[in-house]
């Protein structure tokens, strides 16, 4: 998706709150993540930046991604391999992930049925759900 002015504004405000300057390198990281649909680890992001003939240090990429997560512009999840994947959250519907343990493919899904069930379970204990994250580790059913 194309980076919009209002999202740049949110990003600038986030940096300000962190006492960080809005730099070209930080903007490149932001633009690369928001401009691509998918789930990327830090190395993927670095590769994409390089492919476009641009530069951002590894430290800047890591730090900027964590700021995007902190301010809800991106989400982060860690798979069994211990490597964090990031995806931007701008104009995205909430969804969960299935991870194919044989191929490491990431499949997105959303189930209203599941959300409802979880709400009911929490409610039975006198709670309401504020956040829930599901990761299903799956493998293809062999036919
Ligand atoms: Zn996703």
Strands (E) in 1-143, as ranges, are 74-78, 84-88, 96-100, 106-109, 135-138
For the cut 90, the answer to whether the pLDDT of residue 11 exceeds it is: yes
Residue with tokens 């994250």: 133
What's the gap in Å between 104 CA and the centre of ligand 1? 13
What's the gap in Å between 77 CA and the centre of ligand 1? 9
What's the gap in Å between 21 CA and the centre of ligand 1? 29
What's the gap in Å between 43 CA and the centre of ligand 1? 18
Helix (H) or strand (E) segment spanning residue 10: helix 5-17
Domains observed in the chain: 5-88 (1.10.10.10), 96-138 (3.30.1490.190)
Tell me the three-class secondary structure of 100-131, residue by residue: ECCCCCEEEECCHHHHHHHHHHHHHCCCCCCC
Angstrom distance (rounded) from CA 83 to CA 22: 27
* pTM for this predicted structure: 0.81
What's the gap in Å between 4 CA and the centre of ligand 1? 20
Q: pLDDT by residue (tens digit) across 55-90? A: 889 999 999 999 999 998 999 988 778 889 999 988
């Amino acid at each position: 998706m194309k980076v919009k002015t209002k999202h740049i504004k949110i990003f600038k405000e986030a940096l300000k709150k962190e006492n960080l300057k809005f730099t070209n390198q930080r903007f490149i990281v932001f633009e690369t993540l928001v401009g691509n649909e998918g789930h990327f680890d830090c190395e993927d992001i670095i590769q994409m930046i390089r492919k476009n003939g641009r530069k951002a240090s590894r430290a800047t990429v890591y730090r900027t991604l964590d700021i995007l997560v902190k301010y809800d512009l991106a989400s982060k999840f860690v798979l069994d391999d211990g490597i964090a994947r990031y995806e931007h959250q701008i104009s995205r519907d909430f969804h969960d992930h299935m991870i194919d343990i044989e191929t490491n493919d990431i499949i997105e899904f959303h189930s209203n049925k599941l959300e409802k069930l979880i709400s009911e379970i929490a409610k039975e204990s006198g709670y309401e759900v504020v956040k829930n994250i599901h990761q299903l580790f799956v493998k293809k059913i062999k036919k």
